[in-house]
Amino acid sequence: MRTEATARPRLGAVALPSVRKGGDGRLTAALDPHDQGPQDACGVLGVWAPGEDVAKLTYFGLYALQHRGQESAGIAVSNGRQILVYKDMGLVSQAFDESTLDALKGHLAVGHCRYSTTGASTWHNAQPTFRPTAAGSIALGHNGNLINTHELAQLVKDLPNDSGELDLHSRELEAASTNDTGLVTALLAHHPDTSLEQRALEVLPELRGAFSMIWMNEDALYAARDPQGIRPLVLGRLDRGWVVASEDAALATIGASVVREVEPGEMLVIDEQGLRSHRFAPAAPKGCVFEYVYLARPDARIAGRSVHQARVAMGRQLAREFPVEADLVMPVPESGTPAAAGYAEESGIPFGQGFVKNAYVGRTFIQPSQTLRQLGIRLKLNALDHMIRGKRIVVVDDSIVRGNTQRAQVRMLREAGALEVHVRISSPPVKWPCFYGIDFATRAELIANGLDVDEVAASVGADSLGYISLEGMVEATKQPADNLCKACFTGEYPIELPDEALLGKHLLETSLQSPLLGKALPVLNNP
């Protein structure tokens, strides 16, 4: 069991990460480290609902956001006097059981499921982060990635020592945290002479990059979205409370109605006095276009546009831009399915399933053998020979990152008897890394960075390859082009990046010493 803010005697019961023996903890793309698609940043969800079982609401809300992060999950709950945090590695369903949720009693909660973009995938970096101070505690979950981590680290270092933070003799746990979110939590926690609400309005303008954040103290829920609104964040209403979540699909899952999106540059506060809105920066929208292509659930709606409809429209556009004579249009499930349906509708070529996906592939702590590792993709996908044999196939996917996945898929289709394999991709070539919360690969690893379209086609073994145009993809989102981030396709980053040496997932583990080291900050009890 992994707890924070539990009564001190439980410290002895905390299982440290070293108990995970015998595996690297990954049975998905990481089976083959050269076979990863785009990885999501995180899912966040907050609930303020006196009289409701907020831990269970948060659990099922996180369950609906699982696609955004599968490395770790956590829930913080406050009963008005004390915050209790529980987090663990793995899927939401692996991290929590009934008895754990029963122990999380209160009226407000923050939940998080993580994919790491700054800081390694370790228990210490799992969220919500937690900091107790003399004035009250903070638990915080973050979706996105900050790009001025180095500046924030300096701000944390410069905090006076008499900030009121409690010394609970557990420095080593906090010092092991190496993510940008821990820095923000540290900055928010320092408010000796002012309220958390006021402190947040001072801290938020200091953050650069992508952040959809939800945090809490003992008696209020807070939510904020970066001025560019790179990652989504939605406000919802329960009969007896409020919910804020990464995607509206999570609201529907727990019976909340959608009120509106949190505005870019807006901070919300929800407490017993109701809902308050503050603007900490002017809105300058640059929503991530990749949310429409792949990241968000198809039943999500972003900036008024159905993600499913956008994906179908991308497929239709792809069929107009890259028609081909074929017998079957098939998706790479699941993210390629709406675009494949659109391609089939527009082209008139029959639609069918040629791959079956194992819906239950997630994380496991069993180490696969070398033979299984080489077969990695077959743990995720199998070909339906009778659908494929003797046919000219159009296979539709959302993106190509390194190309290894597509190469294996094309080979699998040929082995199943395909006469021709035409690959169609519902996003343009990914040529640039993302610094705002999506982990593609380094620039050198991106196949489209070094090869033109024909060379990529030859590399993956396809008879033809077509990527949707940038304009076609943008048009399908129904958003003004200027309101979207498209940097991974164009290299034009809407939030200015610092020097390359100051970017990177492991910045706080390598070039910067953790500013949290040597400070008295953490974790176990909030008296």
CA–CA separation, 134 vs 522, rounded Å?
12
CA–CA separation, 63 vs 28, rounded Å?
18
Show the site string, 446-485: x = touches ligand SF4 by CB under 6 A, - = not: ---------------------------------------x
My answer on whether omega of the bond before 334 falls inside 30° of 0, hence cis, is: yes
Only segment of 80-88, 96-104, 284-292, 509-517 that touches ligand SF4 (CB under 6 A): 284-292
Show the site string, 209-248: x = touches ligand SF4 by CB under 6 A, - = not: ---------------------x------------------
Report the 3 state secondary structure along 297-322. CCCCEECCEEHHHHHHHHHHHHHHHC
- In the complex, the smallest distance separating the C-beta of residue 346 from ligand SF4, rounded to whole angstroms, is 25
- The position carrying tokens 């040629």 is 354
Question: How many residues form the binding site for ligand SF4 (CB under 6 A)?
Answer: 11
Q: For residue 336, which of 405, 397, 426 has the smallest C-alpha distance?
A: 397
Q: What is the DSSP letter of 350?
A: P
Nearer to ligand SF4, 410 or 487 (CB): 487
Only segment of 47-55, 116-124, 308-316, 430-438 that touches ligand SF4 (CB under 6 A): 430-438
Only segment of 218-226, 257-265, 368-376, 486-494 that touches ligand SF4 (CB under 6 A): 486-494
CA–CA separation, 235 vs 248, rounded Å?
8
Q: Which of 64, 221, 434, 465 binds ligand SF4 (CB under 6 A)?
A: 434
Assess whether 113 carries a catalytic annotation: no
Nearer to ligand SF4, 95 or 495 (CB): 495
- In the complex, the smallest distance separating the C-beta of residue 289 from ligand SF4, rounded to whole angstroms, is 5
- The position carrying tokens 């164009």 is 490
Nearer to ligand SF4, 400 or 408 (CB): 400
Only segment of 248-256, 282-290, 387-395, 495-503 that touches ligand SF4 (CB under 6 A): 282-290
- In the complex, the smallest distance separating the C-beta of residue 338 from ligand SF4, rounded to whole angstroms, is 18
CA–CA separation, 462 vs 330, rounded Å?
15
Amino acid (1-letter code) at residue 234 = V
Only segment of 85-93, 168-176, 433-441, 519-527 that touches ligand SF4 (CB under 6 A): 433-441
CA–CA separation, 306 vs 300, rounded Å?
6
CA–CA separation, 102 vs 105, rounded Å?
7
Phi, psi of 188 (to 5 degrees): -65, -35
Nearby residues of 150 by Cβ (< 8 Å), 6 or more positions away = 498, 502, 507, 512
Nearer to ligand SF4, 315 or 433 (CB): 433
Q: Does 487 bind ligand SF4 (CB under 6 A)?
A: yes
Q: Which of 488, 503, 516, 524 binds ligand SF4 (CB under 6 A)?
A: 488
Nearby residues of 265 by Cβ (< 8 Å), 6 or more positions away = 225, 226, 227, 229, 279, 280, 281, 282, 283, 284
Catalytically active residues are 42
Q: Contact positions toward ligand SF4, by CB under 6 A?
A: 230, 288-290, 434, 436, 438, 485-488
